[in-house]
Amino acid sequence: MSKQNQAVKKTKKENPKLKEELITFAFTKQNYRLLIIGIVVITLGFLLMIGGGSDDPTVFSDKIFNFRRMTLAPILILAGYIIEIFAIMKRPKE
């Protein structure tokens, strides 16, 4: 029997009206791992979005409209937010 269960039973003997409750955390190790992965994916998306400007302000640069900045980076950011929502909503296995 774990120390936690022993403490609950000891408290229950002292106060019989007290319900037997186990202390559990809302997030598990897997939740935190998914949260970190989501943050990394969001950061990667924002890093891919930067750059593409022109050194001379009078010259227009088409580099800002390439695939990486217009398509890939927003998809990564959106995927990161979806991972974050999933990490928060995922319940631990009982």
Interacting residues of 31 by C-beta distance below 8 A, sequence separation 6+: 87, 88, 90, 92
Total domains in the chain come to 1
The per-residue pLDDT for 19 is 60
Domain limits for position 63: 27-89
Residue predicted with more confidence, 2 or 21:
21
Q: Is the residue at 38 inside a domain?
A: yes
- Under the banding of pLDDT at 50, 70 and 90, the label for residue 93 is confident
Q: Is the residue at 5 inside a domain?
A: no
Mean pLDDT of 49-71: 86
Q: Is the residue at 70 inside a domain?
A: yes
Interacting residues of 85 by C-beta distance below 8 A, sequence separation 6+: none
Q: Is the residue at 71 inside a domain?
A: yes
Measure the CA–CA gap between 15 and 13, rounded to whole angstroms.
5
Q: Is the residue at 19 inside a domain?
A: no
CA 81-84-90 angle, 5° bins: 140
Which ranges of the chain does DSSP label H, i.e. alpha helix? Answer: 3-14, 29-49, 67, 73-89
